[in-house]
Amino acid sequence: MRPITFLSDYGLDDDFVGVCHAVIARAAPDARVIDLTHGVPRHDVRTGALVLRRALPYAPPGVHLAVVDPGVGGARRAVAIRCAEEDRLLVGPDNGLLALAAARFGGAYEAVDIGRSPHRLEPVSATFHGRDLFAPVAAALAAGAPLGDAGSWVETDSLATLDLPAPRRDGDALVAHALGFDRYGNVTLEIAHDWLIEHGLKVGRALTVNGHPATYGLTFADVAPGALLVYEDAYRTLALAVNRGSARELLGLDLDDELVITPA
C-alpha cells in the first residue's frame, strides 16, 4: 500500500478535506495519508506547485494528490503522472500544479487523462473533482491499481508547464523576484543554491535590498530584531526575513515584485 500525500487550497473551515479523506478511506483503508498543507492561497496554482516541489523530497515515494484547481469543470484535463525517478505518482489538475514536482523527479515518464477514470465516483460533480475524481484515483493507485487502468494515455510533452521568473545579474546587482511568502512574512526568491554559489554571495556581507540595509547571514539571530536578513532557507533557496518581523511588510511586496540586491 503506497502512502498518499495531500495538498490543496481547500482550507480547513469547510468539509472538503475531510470528505476527500473519507473517500480515500473507503477505497484504500490501509493507506496512510499525509497532509502537506491545505493552506495554499485559493486558486494560487504557482504557490501550490512551489510548495509541492519543495515538500515532496521529504515524503516517501508514493501517490501525491494535489488540488489547486480554479478551472475545475472546464477545459483543463485531470491527470495522473508517473515521474521518471523514485516511482512517484502525481494526481491532480493539468494546469501546471504538478509540473515543478514532476521536473524535480526527473520529469514525467508517462501520464494518463483520468477525466473518465473507472475509479471515479458517480455522478461526478462539476465543481468538486477533489472528491469525485482525484481522491478516488489516488486511492486506487495507492492500493496498487496500474496507472494505465486509471485513464487514457496522453503524451507527456502535452502536459501543462509552469513558467517562473528568472534571476539575473545587472552589474554588481542581483535582480530577483518575490515567488512566495510564508505566515511569518519571509519572502522566497527564485534563486537556488547552485546559482547562489556560482555568483559568490558570501555570509556576513553587508547588502541593500531595494535600498534597505540588509546582511547576508545564516539564521535570523545573525541580525538585530527588526533588521533585514538575506539568507538561504531550509530548502536551500535564497530568502528574505526580518528578525521578529515581516520582510514582506517592510519592503511592501506582492508576488513577482522585483528585488534588487546590491553590495553595500
Threshold 0.75, pTM exceeds: yes
Q: Determine the Cα–Cα distance for residues 229 and 206; give it in Å rounded to an integer.
A: 10
pLDDT digits (tens, 9 = 90+) for 64-97: 999 999 999 999 999 999 999 999 999 999 999 9
Q: Determine the Cα–Cα distance for residues 195 and 208; give it in Å rounded to an integer.
A: 19
Half-sphere exposure of 87 (CA within 13 A, CB side): 8
Bin 103: left if φ > 0, else alpha if -120 < ψ < 50, else beta: alpha
Give residue limits of the domains in the chain: 4-158, 168-263
Q: At 192, is the secondary structure helix, strand, or coil?
A: strand
Quick one: pLDDT at residue 200?
65
What average pLDDT does the segment 112-120 reach? 98
C-alpha cell at 30: 490501509
Q: Determine the Cα–Cα distance for residues 75 and 125; give it in Å rounded to an integer.
A: 15
pLDDT score of 226 more than 70: yes
Q: Helices 16-27 and 135-142: crossing angle, nearest 10°?
A: 30
Q: Where are the alpha helices (DSSP H) in the chain?
A: 16-27, 45-55, 99-104, 129, 135-142, 193-199, 247-251
Task: Please check whether the two domains, 4-158 and 168-263, share a CATH topology.
Answer: no
Q: Please, what is the average pLDDT of the chain?
A: 95
Homologous superfamily of 168-263: Bacterial fluorinating enzyme like (2.40.30.90)
For residues 11 and 40, the answer to whether their CB atoms sit within 8 Å is no
pLDDT digits (tens, 9 = 90+) for 8-46: 999 999 999 999 999 999 999 999 999 999 999 999 999
pLDDT digits (tens, 9 = 90+) for 129-157: 999 999 999 999 999 999 999 999 999 99
In CATH, 4-158 is 3.40.50.10790 = yes
pLDDT score of 195 more than 80: no
